Amino acid sequence: MSDSLTGPGTARPQDAAAPEPGTARIPTLWLGLMAGPLSFGIAGPALVLDDIAWDLSTSVSTVTWGVTAFGWGIAVGTPLMAGLLRHRGARAALGASGLLVLLGALLVLTVPLLPAVIIGCALQALGTAGLTSIAMSLTDSARSMGFVTASLAVVGSTSPLVGSLVNDALNWQATLALPAISLIGLLVVIRRVPTRPTSTAAFDGLGAVLLTAVVTALVFVPHYPAVAGVVSVLTIAALVWHLRRRPQGFVPAVVVRSPVFLISSVLALLLAVANFGMMFAVADALSDHTSWSSGRIGAAMVWPMLLGGALSWAVVSLSAKVGRQPVIIVLVALSAAGVVLASVSTVAVLLLLAQALASIAAASGQGVFAVHSTKAVPDEERPAAIGLFNLCYLLGAAFGPAIVSLM
């Protein structure tokens, strides 16, 4: 890493992830395989909702609650599993996350009833959120972090197509169970991780409950803005009050008071809002200004998102060689250029180019700013920083489409 990305008292990623004696270095490929399948739960069902609704004798809007449950699960599970990692160690956190994924997958595969589908999606989300956060905390360089975040973007860009193919070959239940592929990576990683916790402080149960309440309220803001907005303000106020009483609790004060962490998290949120909002805006624009079918639009949008995910690995790796400010300027400029281009253009090629720019910025920003945010906190708080950072990025993914729909 460049010295411009570090500061006094902060640790390099490789220091934070230093293995215990007797534990082996974890190949980045397995970390990516453990993290990437989370994206199947977000976008995989996109093209099979009609089939699910038909089989369950209900409406598509009702079935969409399964997707909402997955979104809630990854938002809540990200900080909760990061807390488990801090207090019980990586092996215990991986075991709990893997068990949740397995139970959720078995539920959606064996019980074709709407309540079971919703619960199964939520369980898989809780588990894969933990696997993703743990994978990111186990990275030992910017290049490794870039590979993990690129795997999320690449899988996400192909998820609707893969989900549709699995539905055609097997059934929609298998499509909903695709996040369980992460268990393959888990089986390799769990044998190589350290067992010691990174924090010896007593578990802060009230802090965990308050953060879960905040996240739940924020996730439902796009659906019930008035009620969820008021609840969000109240729960955030309660969490801030608790943070002052217990600065070393579930949400460590040293993390949320770090200017570098806050700036990195806010930037990641904004880039995610732009990228995921653009996915819907560009699809609508292509539908309005071309004669393409929905299938052709979906296929055409794979390449800009896939390109963004693939290039992000290189961007994150190169970011270690330059200062923080140039990277921020470039990524924000790419995202802004994409938004402006999509706003003023009606040509298909330019709309797809706009999506590619936003995708490169968001996928790269998740990796680059994750490195920045975790380097700004003490080693023992790295899992908490990863969890809270990913929470901000995922909230951006939830808010982006909602903002576009309101506009």
Same domain (yes/no): 22, 137: yes
Q: How many domains does the chain contain in total? A: 2
Same domain (yes/no): 274, 356: yes
Same domain (yes/no): 215, 295: no
pTM of the model: 0.78
Same domain (yes/no): 279, 329: yes
Given this model, what pLDDT does residue 406 score?
A: 65
Last residue within a domain, chosen from 245, 264, 294: 245
Given this model, what pLDDT does residue 364 score?
A: 87
pLDDT single digits (tens) 299-358: 887 888 888 888 887 787 777 777 778 888 999 999 999 999 998 888 889 999 999 999
Does position 11 have pLDDT exceeding 50, yes or no? no
| Closest CA relative to residue 153, chosen from 281, 328, 303, 354 | 303
Given this model, what pLDDT does residue 124 score?
A: 95
Same domain (yes/no): 233, 342: no
Same domain (yes/no): 10, 136: yes
CATH number at residue 296: 1.20.1250.20
pLDDT single digits (tens) 248-279: 888 888 888 889 899 999 999 999 889 888 87
Same domain (yes/no): 209, 321: no
Given this model, what pLDDT does residue 3 score?
A: 36
The pLDDT-based confidence of 8 (bands split at 50, 70, 90) is very low
Question: What percent of the chain is modeled with pLDDT above 70?
Answer: 90
Report the first-to-last Cα separation within the chain, whole angstroms: 41
pLDDT single digits (tens) 188-241: 998 888 767 666 667 788 888 998 899 888 888 877 888 988 999 999 999 999
Domain that holds residue 228: 205-245
The Cα–Cα gap between 261 and 106 comes to: 38
Q: Is 61 exposed, middle or buried (0-12, 13-18, 19+ CB in 10 A)?
A: exposed
Does position 13 have pLDDT exceeding 70, yes or no? no
Q: Vertex 283, ends 278 and 289: CA angle to 5°? A: 120
